[in-house]
């Protein structure tokens, strides 16, 4: 799933879509956990670039691998109500 930051300059993406579908179509993801990446958005010149300094590995959680479920920006607009 993806979520654009409120200022439109960062796009966050996870490798998990929907846990029931992940179980059916991506069983390795259940065993290894998902990750979240940040894509920098160039709002002046256009273009996207993967941020090499940002990676959240949910496979290394203390209680074992996990899936990213939701990312919300409190006080955001309707686009911040996307479940991740």
pLDDT digits (tens, 9 = 90+) for 15-60: 888 888 889 999 999 999 999 999 999 999 999 999 999 999 999 9
Confidence of residue 75 (pLDDT cuts 50, 70, 90): low
10 Å CB burial of residue 34 (0-12, 13-18, 19+) is buried
Confidence of residue 2 (pLDDT cuts 50, 70, 90): confident
pTM: 0.76
Cβ-based neighbours of 42, under 8 Å, separated by 6 or more: 48, 49
Confidence of residue 84 (pLDDT cuts 50, 70, 90): very low
């Amino acid at each position: 799933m993806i979520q654009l930051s409120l200022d439109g300059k960062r796009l966050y993406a996870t490798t998990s879509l929907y846990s029931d579908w992940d179980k059916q179509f991506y069983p390795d993801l259940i065993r290894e956990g998902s990750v979240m990446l940040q894509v920098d958005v160039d709002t002046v010149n256009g273009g996207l670039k993967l941020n090499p300094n940002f990676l959240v590995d949910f496979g290394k959680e203390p209680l074992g691998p996990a899936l990213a479920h939701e990312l919300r920006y409190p006080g955001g607009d309707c686009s911040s109500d996307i479940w991740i």
